[in-house]
Amino acid sequence: MSAVGIVVMIVVIAAAGYVLLYSGGGSGKPNTSTSAIVQAINYTGAIQGAGATFPQPFYSNLSAQFNILVPGVQVNYNGIGSGGGIKAFTNLTIDFGASDAPMTDAQWQAVPSLAVHMPMVIGGIVAAYSLPGVNTGLVFTGDLLAKIYLGQVYSWNDPAIQALNPGVTLPNHNITVVHRSDGSGTTFAWTQYLSASNANWASQVGSSTSVNWPLTSSSGAGSGNAGVAALLDSNHPYSIGYVEYTYATLNNLAYGYVKNAAGTVVQPTVDSFSAAVAAAASVLPRGNQTWSQVSIINAVANNATAATAYPVTTFTYILVYQDLSTVPGMTQTKAYALVAFLWWATHDGQLYAPQLHYVPLSSNVVTVDEATLHTITFDGKALLP
């Protein structure tokens, strides 16, 4: 074979491979628009983001995968906490921020220019416990969990727990209540659920990244999911706490099901989290409106029609400025790269969510994010076609 022939053959094979790669994206579902958007990136350099720690493993993985796809673009993400993320975003020291809770109206109005919220991935929180002889599947209600955390229900064989779990032998032993010692989006979601389910909790404790915990007779506090889990092991029996669903499943913790407002006992699964998002999605604002009131938990906790929804389900957000020229040092090409990355992250990037035990966005939320990305501009000019 002549040299020319070899060159022609290589070119043909490469072209075929290229077409295959970008038409299929490896997902089996052709997504030509995403690949076209990514291919149009004409930027080399870093994009800086910072914020919530909960989605950090997911964002780090997205960054690595995106770097394979577009070798010139390095997306750096620092998990400094949601509060720090909002602060750095407001002070214009990063290109995008991330937060587990949406910005409050005060925060949203304090930013130098209009900021948009983009739900990026979904998380669920479960009640995990260490109870000798009892495995996963103990049934709770939000009201009962609030009463346990208030110290009003303090024994495992309390009639309120027994009534929800007929046939389970519950020990006559005091409940040790475990909570997070560090401020966290997980605590925010958990206390929001307790507030929505129990009026006493709402009026006495409320919801935040860290709260004034009622001083029950027996309690413990651990730092991070790991710290809570350490207080729920076999050395600490008769305890109950709350952790990320993914953390509970990865570490084989026993966790509870929830009887939701529709009266259905729901097992926390990717499907029941998605059902919760679907129940809340009809009332989602546009990206450039305020999101301060958005809460899947509040939308589901007392919604008697969301039969298959697991109520303790929450978004985590990425924050960007609607006009990216707000950020110092931003250029047209860099702004486009950021928007293209976010588009890819909400589409093909979601494929990486389940393997890291996050819940991918449902299609109705992706639609909201798509509309948001179309409104993002640089110096007033839209970035996406």
Residues of the shown chain interacting with other proteins in the complex, contacts defined by CB under 8 A: 53, 80-84, 86, 101, 104, 106-107, 181-185, 188, 191, 203-213, 215, 218-221, 223, 227, 230, 235
CA 141 to CA 198: how far, in whole Å? Answer: 10
According to DSSP, residue 107 is labeled H
**Cβ–Cβ < 8 Å for 354, 299:** no
Task: Report strand pairing: 313-321 vs 115-130.
Answer: antiparallel
The helix/strand/coil state of 266 is strand
Count CA atoms closer than 13 A to 30's CA, side-chain side: 4
Give the CA radius of gyration of the chain: 23
Q: Are 245 and 126 in contact (CB under 8 A)?
A: yes
Three-state secondary-structure class, residue 251: coil
The 10 Å Cβ neighbour count of residue 23 is 11
Residues in Cβ contact with 68 at an 8 Å cutoff, skipping those fewer than 6 apart? none
